[in-house]
Structure 1
Amino acid sequence: MYIKTALGMYINYFLLGMVNIILISNMTSLTGQWSTDSAGISYIISAIGIGKLLTYALLGRLSDKLGRKPLVIVGAVGLAIFLAGIPLAPNYQIAFVLAILAGVSNSALDAGTYPGLVEVFPTSSGSASVMVKAFMAAGTGLLPLMISFIASKGMFYGYAFFVPAAVYFLNMLFLFTVPFPNHRTIRTPEDDHDDGSSKFLSEPIFKKEGLALVVIGFTSTGLFTVAQIWLPSFGQKVLGMTEVHSIKLLSYYSIGMFVSVLSLAVLLKKFLRPVTVLVIYPIITFVSIVTVLTIRSVEIVSVASFFVGFSTAGIFQLSIATITELFWRKKGTVTGLLATAGGLASVVMPLVTGMLSKTGNLKIIFIFDAFLSVIGLVCAIVVFYRYRKLVNGHNEKEFSKSDEKGMNKIS
C-alpha cells in the first residue's frame, strides 16, 4: 500500500547523496564565482551543518505533531531551492544563507523520513533505514559522472545543480499524491516486546557505553564529512590529477558505501551484531587512510577511497541502533543526543579542516582524519566490552555464536 510512498522518500535521499558532495565537486567554479578559496567553500559546507544542528530537535517534535508527510515535502522543496539558487548566487553571503536552508531542509527530511519508513515497514525497519544510505551512495556515485559529462560538453556547471533541483520539485509533487501511514496509530513490533526485563544482567551506564556511542556518532560523521570534502582536493594537489578525474575518487568512495550497505543488510541479519561492526570498520578506515597518506599512486588511492567509503558507511546508523537497544527506556532522548553529536561534527569538521588547509599541506587533514578513526575505534572497543558484560547468559551465547559465524564468513 505504501510502496510508492517509500519510493518517493528514497528518491529524496538519492538526490541528497548528490547534495552532500555537490559543492566540493564544483569547487573551482564556485571559488571563482564568489571570489573565495577552498577553505571558504568548506565554511559554506559547515553552514549546512549549522542548519541541521539548530533545527533537529524542533523538527523532530513537529514530525510527531504534524505527521511525516509535511516534513518530507518541506525538506524536498528547501533542497530544490538550495540547488537552484547556488549557481545563481551573486555573492558568498547569499550562498551561506542557502547552505543554512539546505541544512534545515536536510533535518526536515530526516525528521519525516526515518520514522516514516519505520511506519511503512514496521517488521523490517532496520533494513528500511539502512537502504536510505544505499540510495544516498547511488546519488553520490552518479553526480561525478554527471559533472564529467557536463564538463566534456563545455556546458554551464550549474546544470549539475539544476537537474537534481528539478527532480526534487517533481518528486515533491509526487509525494503530495501518495498516502502516508497515520503516525498516531502505528506501533512497531519492538514496542510490544520492549519490557527489557531479561535483556541485561545489569543496567547499562550512560557515562560509559552511552557516552562512548555519542562520541562514535561524532567521529563517524566527522570521518564521512572529511573524506567527502577533501578527497578530490587531495587527488588534485597531492597526486596531480585533473579536477574531473579527482572527482572520480568520490565515485569509488560512494561505490564502497553502496557495497557496504548491501553487505550489512545481509550480515547483520545472520552473522554479525552492530557492536562488532563498530569495532571492525574503524580499523579498515585507519588502514585505508594510512594507505592514502603513504602511497602516491592514483590506482592505490582509488582503491583506498573505495575502502574509506566502505568502512564509514552505516556506522552512524549502527551506533543509533546500539544506543537505543541499550537505553531502550529513553530511545528518543539518546537518539537526539547522538544525532546532535553528528550534527556538531558536520559543523566542526569543515571549519577545522578548512583552517588546516591554509597550511598548504593537505596531508595534515588526512592525518587528522586517521586520528578520528582511532578515537572511534577506542570508543567502539569500550562499547563492545561493556555489551558483552551486560547481556545475559543466553544472549551471550548467541552473541558469540553470531560473531564467530560472521568472522568466518568475512575471512
Structure 2
Amino acid sequence: MNKKYLPSALILYLNYFIHGVGCSILGQAVIKEALAAAWGVEAMAITAISAALGLGRLIALPFAGPLSDKLGRRISTAIGSASYAIYLIGLALAFNAGTHGGYTIAYVCAIIGGIANSFLDTGIYPAVSEIIYKAPGVATMGIKFFIAIAQMLLPFVLGVAVTSTAAGLTSYNPLFYGCGIAYIVLFVLVFLFPLPDADQKASGKKEGLIDSLKHTHFSFESIAMILIGFTCTGTFQLWLNCAQNFAKENVGWANPSIMQTYYSAGTMLALVVTAFLTRKIKDVRFIVVYPAICLVTMIAVLMGQSKPLMIAGAFIIGWAGAGGLLQIATSVCNMLFPKIKGTVTALVMIASSLCNYTILTAASKMQPSGVMTMNIVLTAVGVALGLFVNIRYKKMVELAQQDN
C-alpha cells in the first residue's frame, strides 16, 4: 500500500463508520418511539422507512456500478456521501414536520439513503481494494469492521444525543444532524486526497446486466445461491430492525438498546474468527451452518422470552447472521459460476435489496412476535437452500473447473 493513499483509505472507511449509524438508527426502539410519536403512527410502522432503504438500493444498483467504472471511484463515493447527508438531515426535517407530512418526507429521504448506499458500495469497495491491493479481502473486511464499531457505540451515543422539544417530544435530531454534517465533510474531503485510478475506468465496452441476463442459463444451483442472498439478508435485517421491539413488548425490557452493542460485538468477532476458519473449512459450509445457528437461536428466543436470551440472541445473530454471511455467499457464487460471475453476484445483491424492501415492509404491519416467527420461517428456508447447495457442491465444483 502506497503511504500517500493512507488518508484516502481512512476517509473511505469513515463513510462506512457513519453508515453504520445511518443503517441502524431506525432499528433502535427508542428512536422508533420518538419518530412514531412525532408522526402519529405505530412504532412498528417506522420499519417501513427502513424498508425504503432497500427500495433505494434496488433503484440504484443497475446503474451505480457502471457509473463507478466509467466516471471513477471518487465521483461514485461523492454521490453516495452527498445522498446520505440528504437522508440523515432529511430525517431531522421530517421529525420537525410532525404529522404534516413528516412520515412521507422520511420515506422519500430513506429511498435517497438507499441510493446513497449503492453508490458508496460501488465506489468504496473497489477503491479500498485498489489501495490495499496486496490484501483486497482484508480491505473489504475493514468496511464491515468500521460498520460494526459504529453500531456497537450507537446505544451509548443515543444517551448523549437525546433532547426534548418545546412540545415535550423526545428528539434525536442532534444525531441526525451530526451524522449528516459529517457526510458533508467527507464529501469535501474525498475531492482533496488522491485515489488510485488504474482500474477506475473500464477499457472497452462491458456487457451490462440486462445484456448478460439474456445470454445466461440459470441452473437450480445458481437460483438457490441467489435466493440465499434473499434469506440471509432477511435473517439479520429483521433482527436488527425488530428484535428490540420484541424485547420491549414480549419480554418487558423497557430499554433494550444495549442489544445493539452485543449484536455488533458478535459481528466484529465473527469477522476475525470466520476469516481464520475459512482457511480450514470450505466457504460453502458456512451458508448452511450459520443460518442453522440463527434458526435455533431465534426459536429459543421466541419460546424462552427472557432478557438473558435476548442478549445471547443479539450476540449470536450478530455473529452468525451479520458476520459476513452475505459476503461468503457472494464469494461462493464467484467460485462456482465463473462464466456468469458478475451477473450472479449482481443478482445476489439485488435479491438482498429486494428482501430488505419487501420483508421489512411486511414487518411494519405485524406484531413483533409475528415478525420473529416470519424470521424463523425465512431462515429455515435459507437452511434448506444451504443444504441443497452443499449436497450439490462437489458436482458444482467439477462443472466450474470445466468452465475455466
TM-score class, shorter: 0.7 to 0.9
1:53 aligns with 2:58: yes
Give the letter aligned to residue 139 of structure 1.
A
Give me the whole-angstrom Cα distance separating, in 1, the residues matched to 2:79 and 2:125: 15
1:296 match: 305
Tell me if the contact between 1:68 and 1:183 (Cα under 8 Å) persists in the aligned partners: no
8 A Cα contact 2:244 2:256, kept in partner: yes
1:162 corresponds to: 177
Q: What pairs with 1:18-33 in structure 2 (closer than 5 Å)?
A: 18-25=21-28, 26-33=31-38
Matches within 5 A, 1:50-129: 50-89=55-94, 90=97, 91-129=102-140
Counterpart AA for 2:390: F
Which residue type is aligned with residue 307 of structure 2?
Answer: V
Q: Where do 1:278-293 residues align within 5 Å?
A: 278-293=287-302
1:316 and 2:326 correspond: yes
- Rounded to whole Å, the distance in 2 between the matches of 1:32 and 1:77 is 28
Q: In the alignment, is residue 276 of structure 1 matched against residue 285 of structure 2?
A: yes
Other-structure match for 2:212: none
* Cα deviation code 1:37-65 (max 9, x no counterpart): 12321111111111110111111110111
Name the structure 2 match of 1:196.
none
Select which of 298, 305, 313 maps to 2:314. Answer: 305
Q: Distance in 2 between matches of 1:307 and 1:343?
A: 23
State yes or no: 1:327 paired with 2:337. yes
Query: Within 5 Å, which residues of 2 pair with 1:308-387?
Result: 308-313=317-322, 314-357=324-367, 362-387=368-393
Deviation at 1:136, TM superposition (A): 1.1
1:369 maps to a residue whose letter is N
Matches of 1:301 and 1:184 in 2, distance apart?
A: 45
Aligned to 1:226: 238
Q: For residue 249 of structure 2, what is the amino acid of its counterpart?
A: K
Residue in structure 2 matched with residue 17 of structure 1 by the alignment: 20
Contact 1:64 1:183 in 2 (8 A): no
Which amino acid counterpart does residue 272 of structure 2 have in structure 1? L
For structure 1, the residue ranges without an aligned partner over 5 or more in a row are 188-203, 396-411
Which residue pairs with 2:187 in the alignment?
A: 172
TM-score, normalized by length of structure 1?
A: 0.85
Deviation string for 1:363-392 (max 9, x for gaps)? 221111111111111111122222223435
Deviation at 1:205, TM superposition (A): 7.9
Structure 2: 5+ residue stretches without partners: 203-215
The 1-side partners of 2:385 and 2:378 are apart by 11
Note the C-alpha offset of 1:271: 1.2
Provide the secondary structure at the position in 2 that maps to 1:179. coil
Residues 243 and 372 of structure 2 are in contact (CA less than 8 Å); yes or no, is this contact kept in structure 1?
no
Residue 267 (str. 1) matches residue 277 (str. 2): yes
Shift of 1:186: 8.9
Contact 2:18 2:150 in 1 (8 A): yes
* 1:236 is aligned to 2:248: yes
Write the deviation string for residues 81-127 of structure 1: whole angstroms up to 9, x where unpaired: 21122122212221111111101111110111122222223332222
1:137 aligns with 2:156: no
Contact in 2 for aligned 1:288/1:305 (Cα 8 Å): no
- Aligned CA RMSD, in angstroms, stands at 2.3
Local SS of the residue matching 1:177: coil
Cα distance, 1:341 vs. partner? Answer: 0.3
Which residue of the partner structure matches residue 247 of structure 1? 257
Maintained 8 Å contact 2:161/2:173: no
Between the two proteins, what is the percent identity of the paired residues?
30
